[in-house]
Amino acid sequence: MNGEPRNTANGFAARLRAATREEHERAEQAPFVEALLAGRLPRSAYAALLGQTYLFYRVLEEAGAAWRFDRVVGSFVSDALIRCPSLEADLAWLSGPSWRSSLEPLPATRRYIDRIRDVCFTSRSEFVAHHYTRYLGDLSGGRIIRHKLRGVYDLTDDGLRFYTFDAIDRPKRFKDAYRALLDGTMWDAGEQTALIAEANEAFRHNREVFDDLAEAVGVGTG
Give the pLDDT score at 2: 35
Q: Work out the pLDDT band at 222, boundaries 50, 70, 90.
A: low
What band does 218 get if pLDDT is binned at 50, 70 and 90? confident
Give the lowest-confidence range in 56-65, 101-110, 182-191.
182-191
pLDDT higher at 135 or 9: 135
What residues pair up with 188 in beta bridges, in sequence order? 3
CA distance 48 to 91: 9
Q: What's residue 173's pLDDT?
A: 96
Nearest by Cα to 67 from 154, 111, 146, 128: 128
Residue 142 pLDDT: 84
Query: Which domains does the chain show, CATH number per domain?
Result: 12-217 (1.20.910.10)
67-117 pLDDT, tens per residue?
999 999 999 999 999 999 999 999 999 999 999 998 999 999 999 999 999
Mean pLDDT over the full length of the chain: 92
Mean pLDDT of 28-40: 94
Position 221 scores a pLDDT of 56
List, as one string, the DSSP characters of 152-193: HTT--STT-GGG--TT-S-HHHHHHHHHHHHHHS-PBTTHHH
pLDDT, residue 144, reads 87
- Give the model confidence (pLDDT) of 137-182 as tens digits: 999 988 889 999 998 998 988 999 999 999 999 999 999 999 999 9
Among 4-8, 85-89, 195-199, the range scoring the smallest mean pLDDT is 4-8
Contacts of 145 (CB under 8 A, 6+ apart): 37, 163
